Amino acid sequence: MQKPMLKITIVALAFLLSACSLTPDKFDETKNWSPSKLYSEAREEMNVGDYAKAVSHFEKLESRYPFGTYAQQAQMEIAYAYYRQGDQPQALAAVERFIKLHPDHPNVDYMYYLRGLINFNDKVGIFDFVSRQDPTERDPKAAREAFDSFKLLTERFPDSKYTPDANARLAYLVNSMAQYDVHVANYYYRRGAYLAAVNRAQSAVKNYPGAPAVEGALYVMIRSYDALNLPQLRDDAERVMKTNFPDSVYFRGGPKKDDPWWKVW
């Protein structure tokens, strides 16, 4: 009696496993959709904010119709959907894949721009410190990578419709990276590491000569040289500061309050 029951159990289990393996394909509502319908439905999911479902539709579109124009558009849309979803690694991977596969695509300038935006809005990078965190503990890698992406866009595609915005963001990024160095220099100064403060402030002056943050960098140098009892170097730094920033608030007691430096954009 046990053997027949065992056979029935095995057969039933095999049937269930077979049915399960067929379920996804059998009940996939997109199975017979045309490329245009898949694309329009994916776009609709994007419009309502369901980026995960949009990505799923775009991926199906690319895999089922890999040689059509829809496939290339789907690849771009996937990158944008991941960006809107806040999935930075997947978004960057999708951008890099598209640029590698289609370096001469008429809309490749958009992908360079999107790569810059993804790094620019990096939520764990230089632009999203909270009050309890010390920015000196973070390396502004995302800012540098965003800068490189926007710079590449402006150099390769000077007439792109995305270039004006990229230039504006480049100006912001330059000052942000300079201000980061000033923040670190101030961090060292407050802790009595005056030589380290001078070196970091000099980095801002040397690497970002046109940035507004240079004003603060020169002031750190003046104070640090004074603390190091180096009057000649202090006077030299003060002379440079007065020449370039004759109306500096630092000569009138400094800013009234220190606003978070990253809240600029």
Average pLDDT rounded to a whole number, residues 158-183: 94
Q: Collect contacts of 103-111 with beta carbons under 8 A, ≥24 apart.
A: 105/72, 107/76, 109/153, 109/156, 109/157, 109/160, 109/162, 110/76, 110/162, 111/76, 111/79
pLDDT reading at 164 higher than 90: yes
Cβ contact 78:101 at 8 Å: no
| Encoded amino acid at 20, one letter | C
Helices (H), 102-211: 108-120, 141-156, 163-190, 194-207
Annotated domain spans of the chain: 34-105
How much is the pLDDT for 120? 87
Flag whether pLDDT at 196 surpasses 90.
yes
How confident is residue 167, by pLDDT bands cut at 50, 70 and 90? very high
- Answer whether 116's CB lies under 8 Å from 166's CB: yes
Using the predicted structure, report yes or no on whether residue 131 has a pLDDT greater than 90. no
Range with the lowest mean pLDDT among 26-35, 128-137, 184-193? Answer: 128-137
Tell me the pLDDT tens digit for each residue of 236-258.
999 999 999 999 998 877 664 54
Radius of gyration, CA atoms only, the chain: 28
DSSP for 66-122 reads: TTSHHHHHHHHHHHHHHHHHT-HHHHHHHHHHHHHH-TT-TTHHHHHHHHHHHHHT-
pLDDT in tens, 142-154: 888 999 999 999 9
Q: pLDDT digits over 87-104, tens only?
A: 999 999 999 999 999 999
**Cα gap 204→185, rounded to integer Å:** 9
Which pLDDT belongs to residue 153?
A: 96
Superfamily of structural domain 34-105: Tetratricopeptide repeat domain (1.25.40.10)
More confident residue, 3 or 107: 107
Most confident of 7-16, 33-42, 220-229: 220-229
Name the more confident of 265 and 210. Answer: 210
Please give the pLDDT value at position 127. Answer: 44
Burial (CB count within 10 angstroms: exposed 0-12, middle 13-18, buried 19+), residue 159? exposed
Helices 35-47 and 69-85 meet at what angle, rounded to 10?
A: 20
- Report yes or no: 262 and 178 within 8 Å, Cβ to Cβ: no
* Dist CA 208 CA 192 (whole Å): 25
